């Protein structure tokens, strides 16, 4: 009986080690894919959300200033 338990223990240990190797391979594959995606996005010159929001706020402010100047010009022309 002891020898059979030893075989099962060895198989169990082998499976545990295989799962550890599989987990390491998964982590490495995820890291590699993230690196590839980051490089691909950088090559396409995508902007970050923060940059987009900053430019959007600047455009909104410029539109508001443009509307104010337009109203001022119309008021001056009406005189």
Q: What is the pLDDT of residues 3-15, one digit of tens each?
A: 668 888 888 899 9
Residue 18 CB: number of other CB atoms within 10 A?
A: 10
Chain-centre distance of CA 78, in angstroms? Answer: 53
Instruction: Say yes or no: 39 and 6 in one domain.
Output: yes
Q: Which domain holds residue 7?
A: 1-46
Instruction: Say yes or no: 1 and 34 in one domain.
Output: yes
Domain count, the chain: 2
The whole-angstrom separation of Cα 47 and Cα 41 is: 9
- The predicted model scores a pTM of 0.46
Instruction: Say yes or no: 77 and 65 in one domain.
Output: yes
Report the share of the chain in percent with pLDDT over 70. 95
Containing 10, the helix (H) or strand (E) segment is helix 2-43
Instruction: Say yes or no: 76 and 41 in one domain.
Output: no
Instruction: Say yes or no: 36 and 56 in one domain.
Output: no
Instruction: Say yes or no: 34 and 55 in one domain.
Output: no
Structure tokens at 44: 């396409």
């Amino acid at each position: 009986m002891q020898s059979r338990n030893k075989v099962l223990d060895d198989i169990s240990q082998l499976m545990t080690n295989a799962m550890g190797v599989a987990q390491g391979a998964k982590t490495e594959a995820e890291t590699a894919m993230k690196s590839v995606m980051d490089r691909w996005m950088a090559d396409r010159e995508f902007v970050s959300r923060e940059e987009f929001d900053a430019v959007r706020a600047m455009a909104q402010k410029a539109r508001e200033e443009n509307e104010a100047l337009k109203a001022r010009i119309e008021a001056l022309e009406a005189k």
